[in-house]
């Protein structure tokens, strides 16, 4: 444990007690929150924000100043929670019921939202359509740049009241949302060609890859996900709290 400030609602001692010696299960995601089961009940909920990421590394790889929490697996690989600004953090839910409560405040996951529900949602909201897309309590998973890209593809003005869009326009937004998300999930980067960001940025700028999507699965030699038993939650100089 390198920085206890990123822990949300859990102390170091409890985190160590709940995760040490247990197996990490197959990760899932709801909106912007990756969820990693721990053993049979608890789950780690990661919130990366704009600058955060989960890095899979060897134990002897050089660490970064921004590595806040390090989980060491039993084969000496590590999962490093890295965040430069640390506005968000890591939560530990003790059981599935607590996890459901934690996720209940979020709207449906954007890629899984039925079209009919999406149309009804926009038709009922008087606020700007971009604000509706970004409101995590309404639709989980869309941020600033993704919303801009979606509306740019749909040819919808971001400040236009959502309920003023007709059915055809709303369907265009829904279709654009899935197109953008499919591209992001396939390439693990923001769309680079024929995109809102490409048009907005200086032509010829090289290496523009906004940190919008963070890989949760790691490139393990045996081809598995991050399911692996780890023996230590790293050393804690603070002594817990």
Note the Cα 180 to chain centre separation in Å. Answer: 16
Confidence at residue 233, expressed as pLDDT on a 0 to 100 scale:
31
Residue 157 has pLDDT above 90, yes or no: yes
Instruction: Tell me the longest C-alpha to C-alpha distance in the chain.
Output: 59
> Which residue did the predictor score with more confidence, 204 or 154?
154
Confidence at residue 6, expressed as pLDDT on a 0 to 100 scale:
66
Confidence at residue 198, expressed as pLDDT on a 0 to 100 scale:
53
pLDDT in tens, 102-112: 899 999 999 99
Token output for 151: 């509306």
Average pLDDT over residues 127-133: 97
Q: Which DSSP category does 199 fall into? A: H
Quick check: pTM over 0.85? no
CATH class in words for 110-200: mainly alpha
The 3-state DSSP class for residue 10 equals coil
Q: What angle do CA 224, 228, 232 make, to 5 degrees?
A: 150
Q: Which residues contact 240 (CB under 8 A, 6 or more apart)?
A: 11, 12, 13, 16
Q: Which of 25, 29, 232 is nearest to 140 (CA)?
A: 29
Token output for 35: 């969820």
Q: Where in the chain are the domains?
A: 4-106+216-232, 110-200
Residue 85 has pLDDT above 90, yes or no: no
User: How many angstroms separate the CA atoms of 201 and 7, rounded?
Assistant: 36
What percent of the chain is predicted at pLDDT more than 90? 30
Is residue 66 within 8 A of residue 77, CB to CB? The reply is no
When pLDDT is cut at 50, 70 and 90, the band that residue 65 belongs to is confident
Taking CA atoms, 159 is separated from 140, 142, 162, 195, in Å, by 20, 16, 8, 19
Residue 130 has pLDDT above 80, yes or no: yes
The region of weakest confidence among 44-48, 145-149, 175-179, 231-235 is 231-235
Q: Do domains 4-106+216-232 and 110-200 have the same CATH topology?
A: no
CATH number of 4-106+216-232: 3.20.190.10
Q: What angle do CA 2, 39, 226 make, to 5 degrees?
A: 65
């Amino acid at each position: 444990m390198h920085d206890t400030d990123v822990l949300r609602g859990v102390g170091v001692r409890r985190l160590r007690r709940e995760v040490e010696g247990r197996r990490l299960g197959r990760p899932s995601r709801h909106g912007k929150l990756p969820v990693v089961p721990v053993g049979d009940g608890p789950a780690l909920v990661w919130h990366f924000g704009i600058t955060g990421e989960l890095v899979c590394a060897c134990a002897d790889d050089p660490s970064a100043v921004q590595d806040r929490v390090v989980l060491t697996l039993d084969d000496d690989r590590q999962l490093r929670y890295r965040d430069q600004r640390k506005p968000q953090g890591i939560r530990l839910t003790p059981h599935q019921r607590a996890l459901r409560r934690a996720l209940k405040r979020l709207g449906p996951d954007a890629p899984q939202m039925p079209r009919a529900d999406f149309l009804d949602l926009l038709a009922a909201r008087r606020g700007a359509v971009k604000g509706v897309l970004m409101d995590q309590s309404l639709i989980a998973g869309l941020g600033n740049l993704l919303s801009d890209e979606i509306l740019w593809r749909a040819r919808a003005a971001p400040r236009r009241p959502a309920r003023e869009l007709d059915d055809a326009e709303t369907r265009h937004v829904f279709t654009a949302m899935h197109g953008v998300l499919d591209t992001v999930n396939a390439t693990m980067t923001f769309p680079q060609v024929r995109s809102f960001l490409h048009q907005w940025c200086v032509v010829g700028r090289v290496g523009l890859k906004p940190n919008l999507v963070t890989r949760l699965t790691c490139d393990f030699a045996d081809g598995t996900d991050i399911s692996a038993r780890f023996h230590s939650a790293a050393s804690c100089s603070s002594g817990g709290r």
